[in-house]
C-alpha cells in the first residue's frame, strides 16, 4: 500500500473530527478519578509466555530525519499524520494477519491524557490507519495516565519511571498494542499488564519504529536465569516490592540491561538516582 493509498484511508480523519473531540468531556470525567488512583498504584505486569515479536514498520533513522519529526514531538497532530503516512509499510504491517489468524482484535494505542484532552499522537494515528487496513476496531478509551519523559532517557530512567494506564477493558477480548517507538519495551509491557489484569488478551504488538533488538519483548529463559544468578533473590524481592512484579515480567531488553549492571547494590542505587532525578522540578 502506497502512502497515497494510506492517505485515502484517512480521508475525513482529523483530530478535530476524532473520537476525543466528540467525547473528550466524558473521557476526562471518567479518567480523572482513575488517574488519581493510578498515581498511587504500581502498574500491573504479567509473564510473557510465547508473545510474538513486535512488528516494526520503519527504521529509527527514517523517523528522526523526517522533516515533521520535531513538530510531532512538540505535539503537532498534523505532523503525526504526516509521519505515519510517510513511513507506513503495508507489506510489513500485513504480517499482522499471519500472527492474528482468525481473531478479530481491537487496536489499542499508547497515547496520553493531557490537561486539554487526549493528544492525537503517532500511535493513535497509526491505530486508525491499521483499523482501516484490517477492518478491526480501535479502542480509544485506554490511555496512559502519567508522564514518564522517556525520550532520550537512559535505561534506568525508563525502568524507574514506568507508564501507568487506565480505561475499561472488554473481558475476553483480543487486543493489538500500537506504539510509535519501542526502546526497552516497558511501556508496552505495562499496557499489556493493564489489559490482561482486567481480563483481556494481548495477541500482538506493532510500532512505527524502534530499536531492532527490542522487537523481542518476551523474556527468554536463558536471560531470566542469567539475571537471577547474577543479582540474586534479595534483589528480585526488592524489585517485586518496588514495581509490583518479579523478574519474569521484565522485557528481554530490560533484563539484558539489568544483567549488565555490576551488582544488586548498583541496581538499587541507579534506580534511586533515576527516581530522584525524575521528581526534580
Q: How far is CA 68 from the centre of its chain?
A: 21
Residue-level pLDDT at 155: 92
Q: Could you write out the DSSP letters of every residue in 124-143?
A: HHHHHHHHHHH---B--S-E
User: How many whole angstroms separate alpha carbon 191 and alpha carbon 196?
Assistant: 9
User: How many whole angstroms separate alpha carbon 67 and alpha carbon 223?
Assistant: 39
The mean pLDDT of 164-184, rounded to a whole number, is: 95
Residue-level pLDDT at 116: 47
End-to-end Cα distance, the chain: 45
DSSP, collapsed to helix, strand or coil, labels residue 87 as helix
**216 or 2, higher pLDDT:** 216
Q: What percent of the chain has pLDDT over 70?
A: 80
The mean pLDDT of 216-227, rounded to a whole number, is: 98
Picking from 211, 183, 192, 44, the residue whose alpha carbon sits closest to that of residue 108 is 192
**CB contact at 8 A, 171 and 201:** no
Query: What pTM was estimated for this model as a whole?
Result: 0.84
pLDDT in tens, 51-63: 999 999 999 999 9
DSSP conformational letter for 220:
P
The mean pLDDT of 247-257, rounded to a whole number, is: 98
Q: Which residues contact 117 (CB under 8 A, 6 or more apart)?
A: 20, 24, 27, 28
Considering 70-74, 182-186, 201-205, the range whose residues carry the highest mean pLDDT is 201-205
Residue-level pLDDT at 120: 57
pLDDT grade, residue 174 (50/70/90)? very high
pLDDT grade, residue 42 (50/70/90)? confident
Q: Which domains does the chain have, with CATH numbers?
A: 3-37+47-210 (3.40.50), 219-281 (no CATH)
The mean pLDDT of 190-214, rounded to a whole number, is: 97
DSSP, collapsed to helix, strand or coil, labels residue 31 as helix
pLDDT in tens, 103-128: 999 999 998 654 444 455 899 999 99
Residue-level pLDDT at 113: 55
CA distances from 187 to 19, 40, 57, 112, 165 (A): 23, 18, 18, 12, 9
pLDDT surpasses 80 at 30: no
DSSP, collapsed to helix, strand or coil, labels residue 151 as coil
pLDDT grade, residue 149 (50/70/90)? confident
User: How many whole angstroms separate alpha carbon 38 and alpha carbon 44?
Assistant: 11
Q: 3-state SS of 88-123?
A: CCHHHHHHHHHHHCCCCCEEEECCEEECCEECCCHH
Strand partners for 176: 107, 204
Amino acid at each position: 500500500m502506497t502512502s497515497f493509498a494510506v492517505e485515502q484511508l484517512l480521508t475525513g480523519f482529523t483530530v478535530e473530527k476524532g473520537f476525543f473531540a466528540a467525547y473528550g468531556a466524558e473521557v476526562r470525567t471518567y479518567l480523572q478519578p482513575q488517574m488519581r488512583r493510578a498515581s498511587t498504584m504500581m502498574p500491573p505486569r504479567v509473564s510473557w509466555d510465547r508473545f510474538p515479536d513486535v512488528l516494526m514498520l520503519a527504521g529509527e533513522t527514517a523517523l528522526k530525519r523526517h522533516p515533521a519529526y520535531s513538530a510531532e514531538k512538540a505535539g503537532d497532530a498534523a505532523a503525526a499524520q504526516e509521519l505515519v503516512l510517510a513511513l507506513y509499510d503495508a507489506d510489513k504491517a500485513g504480517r499482522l494477519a499471519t500472527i492474528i489468524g482468525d481473531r478479530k482484535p481491537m487496536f489499542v494505542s499508547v497515547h496520553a491524557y493531557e490537561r486539554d484532552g487526549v493528544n492525537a499522537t503517532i500511535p493513535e494515528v497509526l491505530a486508525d490507519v491499521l483499523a482501516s487496513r484490517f477492518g478491526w476496531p480501535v479502542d480509544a478509551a485506554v490511555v496512559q495516565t502519567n508522564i514518564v519523559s522517556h525520550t532520550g532517557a537512559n535505561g534506568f530512567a525508563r525502568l524507574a519511571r514506568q507508564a501507568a494506564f487506565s480505561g475499561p477493558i472488554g473481558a475476553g477480548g483480543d487486543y493489538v498494542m500500537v506504539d510509535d517507538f519501542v526502546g526497552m519495551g516497558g511501556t508496552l509491557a505495562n499496557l499489556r499488564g493493564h489489559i490482561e489484569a482486567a481480563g483481556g488478551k494481548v495477541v500482538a504488538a506493532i510500532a512505527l519504529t524502534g530499536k531492532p533488538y527490542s522487537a523481542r519483548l518476551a523474556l527468554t529463559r536463558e536471560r531470566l536465569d542469567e539475571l537471577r544468578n547474577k543479582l540474586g533473590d534479595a534483589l528480585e524481592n526488592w524489585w517485586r516490592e518496588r514495581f509490583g512484579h518479579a523478574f519474569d515480567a521484565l522485557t528481554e531488553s530490560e533484563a539484558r540491561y539489568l544483567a549488565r549492571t555490576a551488582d544488586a547494590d548498583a541496581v538499587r542505587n541507579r534506580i534511586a538516582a533515576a527516581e530522584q532525578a525524575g521528581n526534580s522540578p
